[in-house]
Structure 1
Amino acid sequence: MKIEGSSALVTGGGSGLGAATARLLAQRGAVVHVFDRNRQAAEAVAGEIGGVALAGDVTSEADAAAALDTAARAGDGLRILVNCAGIGVAGRILGKSGPMPLADFETVIRVNLVGTFNMMRLAAERMATLSERVDKARGVIVNTASVAAFEGQIGQAAYAASKGGIVSLALPAAREFARFGIRVNTVAPGIFMTPLLHNLPQEAQESLAAAIPYPSRLGDPAEFADAVRFAIENQYINGEVIRLDGALRMQPK
């Protein structure tokens, strides 16, 4: 899918991996819609890149539909959706104070997995009606999982389950959307230098980096964005999950 001139929407685009992706897509000539529940963050990134700020909740059908409708009015319609919105809440299934509150598990699943599915289903509805481009292409969706989907650590049950669901969505969605000319791919990042990790002491950051075989450093959000770009531009990548982790394999804890 050609990025230049395409209308794109990035969820969680107000910070971290989403912001880096929004910046790269804008640099490549896309009309970027920055969708984030934090309006100020969305406006800051959109203002920086000449994009459009949209505030809302990915789990809300109304919010998602409104944002996608705005993106669909740009260019020749919504062509690119990148789902980066997500949360990570640590907690053992059975902790010292008892079992994990069911509401905590449900919240992580709802934001990460249901939110991704909500955006994907509504975006596909809009993409399916667009005119075909080269090779009968109409659109592309890139979701964000995590290496926790494969090697979830103790205390990551909810997060790993949500990201595992996103991994499992890629192939059946790609197969289903093939008749519309819509591709679906997933990027599963390892440990990246996001705002959360920026707040950790330098010693803690170095400890995390030491566990990564090569390169032994935290991932740069720009590298994540470049993987997303690759998944968008290479028309033969479909139904795929790309690990982006420096050969990291997470230990139990």
Structure 2
Amino acid sequence: MKLDDSIAAVVTGGASGLGAATARALAARGVKVAIFDLQKEKGEAVAAEIGGLFCEVNVTSDESVDAGFARARAAHGQERILVNCAGTGNAVKTASRSKEDGTIRHFPLEAFNWVIQINLVGTFRCIAKSAAGMLTLDPLEDGERGAIVNTASVAAEDGQIGQAAYSASKGGVVGMTLPIARDLMGEGIRVNTILPGIFDTPLLAAAPPNVKEALAASVPFPKRLGRPEEYARLALCMIETGYFNGEDVRLDGGIRMAPR
């Protein structure tokens, strides 16, 4: 897909981190970008910076997602690109014993479901609604109508202690990539997923310098945290390369996560 001002894109989680970097990269190519996020102040700032549109969207809500797509399409036209970066996580053991008094607890199911609803169901909700819109578009070269990029995590393959919900949600994103690509192949819509490793995003902003240094040292090469711009470059590669379809690609400096 050739990126220029005839193309519209939606980036979920585009107010910060990987999503913001991708929104900037797309806008730099002339693409009209709509940012879906709950962080209104940050989202509006990024949108103003890139000449895009901010839509306050909760990916766990059909009504909110529908309203976001309606607003984005009214401003920019039907999107040909969807990049899913909205996500969250938590760290809770499946079952554990308190060191203080021996009390036994288990992972609260509402906390487990919260991560699944945002990371997995929210991603699918946006894919399904965006793809339905893409079906209305005239095909481009090779019959292409659109391109979708999802965000999983290396935790989908080597999750750490306490990451049962997070790993399950991201594993689900990986697991649905190929079947969705197959669902949409007859309509010219490609679907790929990136599995980022340890990236320097707002999620790590509060971490002490020694923690960041230890995380960077654990990466085989290069021994540093990933940069959001590197994610954005891979996302654009997936979008621009017409033969890129149905793939799940790790972007992690060669790391394989230890149990903790």
Indicate whether the TM-score tops 0.5.
Answer: yes
> In the alignment, which residue of structure 1 is the partner of 2:122?
115
The separation in 2 between residues aligned to 1:73 and 1:177, in whole angstroms, is 24
Tell me if the contact between 2:73 and 2:79 (Cα under 8 Å) persists in the aligned partners: yes
CA shift digits 1:166-189 (9 cap, x unpaired): 001110000010011000000000
Q: Confirm whether residue 251 of structure 1 aligns to residue 252 of structure 2.
A: no
> In the alignment, which residue of structure 1 is the partner of 2:238?
231
Q: Confirm whether residue 214 of structure 1 aligns to residue 221 of structure 2.
A: yes
> In the alignment, which residue of structure 2 is the partner of 1:183?
190
The change in CA–CA distance for 1:246 and 1:9 in structure 2 (over 3 A counts) is: same
> Bigger shift: 193-202 or 237-246?
193-202
> In the alignment, which residue of structure 2 is the partner of 1:170?
177
3-state SS in 1 of match to 2:198: coil
Tell me if the contact between 1:31 and 1:74 (Cα under 8 Å) persists in the aligned partners: no
Question: Which one of the candidate residues 134, 144, 159 is aligned to 1:152?
Answer: 159
The separation in 2 between residues aligned to 1:78 and 1:196, in whole angstroms, is 28
The separation in 2 between residues aligned to 1:105 and 1:76, in whole angstroms, is 36
> In the alignment, which residue of structure 2 is the partner of 1:240?
247
Give, as a single letter, the amino acid of the residue that structure 1 aligns with 2:53. Answer: V
Tell me if the contact between 1:186 and 1:241 (Cα under 8 Å) persists in the aligned partners: yes
How many pairs align? 253
Question: Which runs of 5 or more residues in structure 2 are unaligned?
Answer: 98-103
The change in CA–CA distance for 1:117 and 1:70 in structure 2 (over 3 A counts) is: same
Tell me if the contact between 2:87 and 2:119 (Cα under 8 Å) persists in the aligned partners: yes
1:89-100 mapped onto 2 (5 Å cutoff): 89-96=90-97, 97-100=104-107
CA shift digits 1:35-85 (9 cap, x unpaired): 101211210110111100100101111111121223334555210000000
Tell me if the contact between 2:194 and 2:251 (Cα under 8 Å) persists in the aligned partners: yes
The separation in 1 between residues aligned to 2:55 and 2:78, in whole angstroms, is 17
Tell me which stretches of 4 or more aligned residues in structure 1 moved more than 3 Å: 73-76
Question: Which one of the candidate residues 132, 137, 140 is aligned to 2:139?
Answer: 132
The separation in 2 between residues aligned to 1:170 and 1:190, in whole angstroms, is 18
The separation in 2 between residues aligned to 1:140 and 1:74, in whole angstroms, is 20
Tell me if the contact between 2:55 and 2:72 (Cα under 8 Å) persists in the aligned partners: no
> In the alignment, which residue of structure 2 is the partner of 1:59?
60
The separation in 2 between residues aligned to 1:169 and 1:207, in whole angstroms, is 33
Tell me if the contact between 1:72 and 1:126 (Cα under 8 Å) persists in the aligned partners: no
The separation in 1 between residues aligned to 2:251 and 2:49, in whole angstroms, is 27
Give, as a single letter, the amino acid of the residue that structure 2 aligns with 1:23. Answer: R
3-state SS in 2 of match to 1:78: coil
Question: Which runs of 5 or more residues in structure 1 are unaligned?
Answer: none
Give, as a single letter, the amino acid of the residue that structure 2 aligns with 1:59. Answer: T
> In the alignment, which residue of structure 2 is the partner of 1:49?
50
Tell me if the contact between 2:151 and 2:193 (Cα under 8 Å) persists in the aligned partners: yes
Percent identical: 52
Give, as a single letter, the amino acid of the residue that structure 1 aligns with 2:88. Answer: I
The separation in 1 between residues aligned to 2:122 and 2:3, in whole angstroms, is 24
> In the alignment, which residue of structure 2 is the partner of 1:36?
37
Relative to the length of structure 1, the TM-score reads: 0.98
3-state SS in 1 of match to 2:231: helix
Q: Confirm whether residue 2 of structure 1 aligns to residue 2 of structure 2.
A: yes
> In the alignment, which residue of structure 2 is the partner of 1:83?
84
The separation in 2 between residues aligned to 1:177 and 1:71, in whole angstroms, is 22
Shift of 1:190: 0.1
The separation in 2 between residues aligned to 1:193 and 1:91, in whole angstroms, is 22
Give, as a single letter, the amino acid of the residue that structure 1 aligns with 2:229. Answer: A
